[in-house]
Structure 1
C-alpha cells in the first residue's frame, strides 16, 4: 500500500488521464487497447481513472502501443510550474542521518518541483543538537531565522542570528551551524546550485 505522500506525488503526473488521451486520439476502446498490451480492460480502466498506478513494465507496454517513451508520462505539461507542499506531506530528515542527536532536522519545502534552480527547507535545530559538520555545496545559501538563535560559521567567520535576522553567503566555502541559547532554533534555508 502506498503512503499518502507517494500517492499524491503519483497523482501529480496524471498518468491515467495521459493514457486515456492517447487512447482516444488513436480511437481505441479499452478492449482494443487490452488486446494490444495483453492487459485486462478492467486493469486499464482502473489505471485511466487513477484508481491504480501502473508498474514501469506495464506502463512500457502501453507506451509501446502508442509509440511514445516513458518520459511522455513524466514530463511536465507546458504550464507554468506550480508546486505545493502541504505541511503534513513533508518528511523530516535528520542530518546527519541515523544519528542519536542530529545537528538539525530539515524538511524540503519544494521537492515536487522538477528542474528547480534552488532548494528551500524548513530547518529545526533541537536543544540537544551538536554543531553541524562543516560542509560546502552549490554557489549560494540564504537563511532566515524564524525562532531562537542560530550561529552560522562561514569559512571561519561566526555570525550570531536572532529571530527575523537573515544571512546570504557563498556556500561553496566550508560552513556550519549551531543552535545557541535556551530554546530550539528554526529557520528557512534556501540553497542554489
Structure 2
C-alpha cells in the first residue's frame, strides 16, 4: 500500500511514541504545539489527517527537524491488485488515551480516490468504558462475537453477533460492553481526504 494514508498512521503512532518517550501528557504536547488536546489526540490516533502546518507544529514542539522525524518512516510497495494481511501483521492501536478495555488492531488502511479506508478489529472487554468520540467520516461496524450497547448521539442500540451499523462518524458515539464476556467488532472507517 503505497499511500500517504499509510504514512498518516505511522506519523500518528510516531508522534504518540515520541510524546511518551519524553514523558509528556497529551496536554503538554498540545500546549507546546499550540494545538488543542482534542486535535492532538485525533492526529495521534489516526482519526484525522493532519495538515502540513499542524504536523510541523508538532514536530517543532519536540525540537526535532522535519527530516529527522521522517527519516525512519517508510511506505509500503505499490498495490498489486490485492492486499493480504496475516493476523500477526495487524498493528496495535490505542485510539483513545483515557479508554479502558478497548483493544484495537488495525487490519487495513488504504486510500481510495480522495478517501481513506481503515479496517480495525476491536475487542471490547467486559465493562469497557470511555467518553463518546467523533470521527471525520463514516463508520461501519459488524458484531463478530458478543453483545454490546452502542450509543450514537441521542440513540442507543443493542447489538449482537451478526448485527451491523453504518453511521456518520461526526455524531458522538461509543460502544459499551455491559456483559460478562468480551465482544469483538470489525470496524471500518471511511474518511474523505478532499
Question: Corresponding residue for 1:134?
Answer: 132
Question: Which residue of the other structure, out of 153, 162, 165, is the alignment partner of 2:163?
Answer: 165
Question: Which residue of the other structure, out of 102, 105, 124, is the alignment partner of 1:104?
Answer: 102
Structure 1 contact 144–187 (Cα < 8 Å) conserved: yes
RMSD (Å), alpha carbons = 2.9
How far did residue 80 of structure 1 move?
Answer: 4.3
| Normalised TM-score (structure 1) | 0.53
Higher relative contact order (CA 8 A, sep 6+): 2
How far did residue 179 of structure 1 move?
Answer: 0.8
Question: Corresponding residue for 1:125?
Answer: 124
- Alignment partner of 2:88: what SS? helix
Structure 2, gaps ≥5 residues long: 1-66
Question: Corresponding residue for 1:88?
Answer: 88
User: Which contiguous aligned blocks of 4+ residues in structure 1 show a shift greater than 6 angstroms?
Assistant: none
Structure 1, gaps ≥5 residues long: 1-55, 61-72
- Alignment partner of 1:145: what SS? strand
Deviations 1:82-120 (A, max 9, x none): 3222111223334434x5x62411000114x45662110
How far did residue 76 of structure 1 move?
Answer: 5.1
- Alignment partner of 1:153: what SS? strand
- Alignment partner of 1:88: what SS? helix
Deviations 1:56-100 (A, max 9, x none): 99xx9xxxxxxxxxxxx95854x5443222111223334434x5x
